[in-house]
Amino acid sequence: MIKFSSLSRRCAALMAVLILSSATVQATIVRIDTALGPIDVRLFDETAPNTVANFLNYLNDGDYDNSFIHRSAPGFLIQGGGFVFGDEGVVNIDVDPTITNEFGASNLRGTIAMAKVDSDPDSADSQWFFNLTDNSDPLDVDNGGFTVFGEIIGNGLQVADSIAALQLLNAGGSFTSIPLINYFGGLIAESNVVAVNSVSIVGEDIFINPAMNGAWLNPQTPGQGIFVDVLPQTGIVFISLFTYDVTQPDSNIMAAVGAAGQRWLTAQGGFTGNTANLTVSTTSGGLFDADTPVTNNETGTITVTFNECDQAVLNYTLSDSGLSGSIPLVRLVADNVEACVLQSIELEAAAQAAAQ
């Protein structure tokens, strides 16, 4: 039914990918563009660095382009990364040396993991699969545990489910359950398989977007933090910084900003990419729900750099009080992190298109 041939082995620059991967601050996002739609995947750069580096090596070599999903087990998994269509029919992807098993994260629904040979934990090369359900039992235990190295984000899981719902055919060999599109018998054409048109890196950079709105805090001193409000139509970020004292600090404590009680600073300004440059104001005078006027004074500057959708660094210079420094920030809750990543991908694509 399907004609096979072999390709020569290609030398891989895996060490260079390892170095690049270890230098990456935020998680890498890749897009697997299939015939039924894109599947965006957040890679686990930190928890499975060698496996991610191996996957990115195949990606950078273009090995996954024009490949296809060759195995489907509805309610279990779909698998790819093993075969491409060539001039002589279906050929094996040229594989690099196998990698050491790196099991850590569980094989839950929506995760991507490495396929490998039975009874050989360290046999993974190019092939990967998506878990369509909670496969922690048995895949977290069998064969040393199957290494999960990423998870689907956005609407990609719907695409994976759509692939699993396709007609299956036993074409023999490695294709005993191949999913097919509009197949009515005879030889399998390239148009019948679920093509993986390309696998590419997207969203390497974080772009400031409204999904970052909400409470952030300094993990070292949880009583201090900021509220973020991104206003994309005006190109402005507004933040309010807060801390709390019940009594006025001694006069020799330089960190006293504002009166005792709830201390607030506000800042606003423009943003580009992942960085916002803001002007700081202090407010004095006035009483709650009273007509007493208040005074706003510009007292310094702040730069907020979002390294990830749940991590940032705030650098401040407060001229009136002679203070300057750097504060790490993390999100108080992570509900919007995935939405932030997806909006970053869209903003990055728009920026690249505008630059062309």
What is the full per-residue pLDDT of the chain (356 aa) written as tens digits?
Answer: 343 333 222 322 222 222 233 333 357 889 999 999 999 998 999 899 999 999 999 999 999 999 999 999 999 999 999 999 877 789 999 999 999 999 999 999 999 999 999 999 999 999 999 999 999 999 999 999 999 999 998 789 999 999 999 999 999 999 999 999 999 999 999 999 999 999 998 866 789 999 999 999 988 886 678 999 999 999 999 999 887 666 666 666 655 555 555 567 899 999 998 999 999 988 766 666 777 777 778 889 999 999 888 889 999 998 877 888 888 999 988 788 888 888 888 887 777 777 76
124 within 8 A of 116, measured Cβ to Cβ:
yes
Domain boundary among 180, 202, 224: 202
Q: If 0-12 CB within 10 Å is exposed, 13-18 middle and 19+ buried, where does residue 118 land?
A: exposed
Kindly list the distances between the CA atom of residue 127 and the CA atoms of 80, 160, 195, in Å, as whole numbers in the listed order: 6, 16, 15
Do 183 and 88 have their domain in common? Answer: yes
Do 256 and 340 have their domain in common? Answer: yes
Q: How far apart are the first and last CA of the chain?
A: 44
**Which of 314, 288, 66 minimizes the C-alpha distance to 195?**
66
Do 161 and 249 have their domain in common? Answer: no
Q: Which of the 8 DSSP states describes residue 234?
A: T
Q: How many domains does the chain fold into?
A: 2
Give the CATH number, domain containing residue 320: 2.40.128
**Which of 326, 337, 320 minimizes the C-alpha distance to 304?**
326
Helix ranges (DSSP H) in the chain:
14-23, 49-60, 136-139, 156-164, 337-355
The tokens for 172 are 């023999």
| pLDDT recorded at residue 8 | 29
Domain boundary among 202, 221, 253: 202
Kindly list the distances between the CA atom of residue 24 and the CA atoms of 28, 55, 212, 253, 352, in Å, as whole numbers in the listed order: 8, 15, 21, 39, 20
Do 26 and 117 have their domain in common? Answer: yes
| pLDDT recorded at residue 1 | 39
The tokens for 142 are 């069998």
Do 347 and 314 have their domain in common? Answer: yes
Do 18 and 132 have their domain in common? Answer: yes
| pLDDT recorded at residue 85 | 85
Do 278 and 167 have their domain in common? Answer: no
Do 229 and 323 have their domain in common? Answer: yes
| pLDDT recorded at residue 91 | 93
**Which of 161, 68, 55, 147 minimizes the C-alpha distance to 109?**
161
Helix axes 14-23 and 49-60, enclosed angle (nearest 10): 120
The one-letter code for the residue type at 342 is L
Give the CATH number, domain containing residue 188: 2.40.100.10
Tell me the Cα Rg of the chain: 26
Question: Which structural domain, as residue segments, surrounds residue 227?
Answer: 210-355
| pLDDT recorded at residue 231 | 95
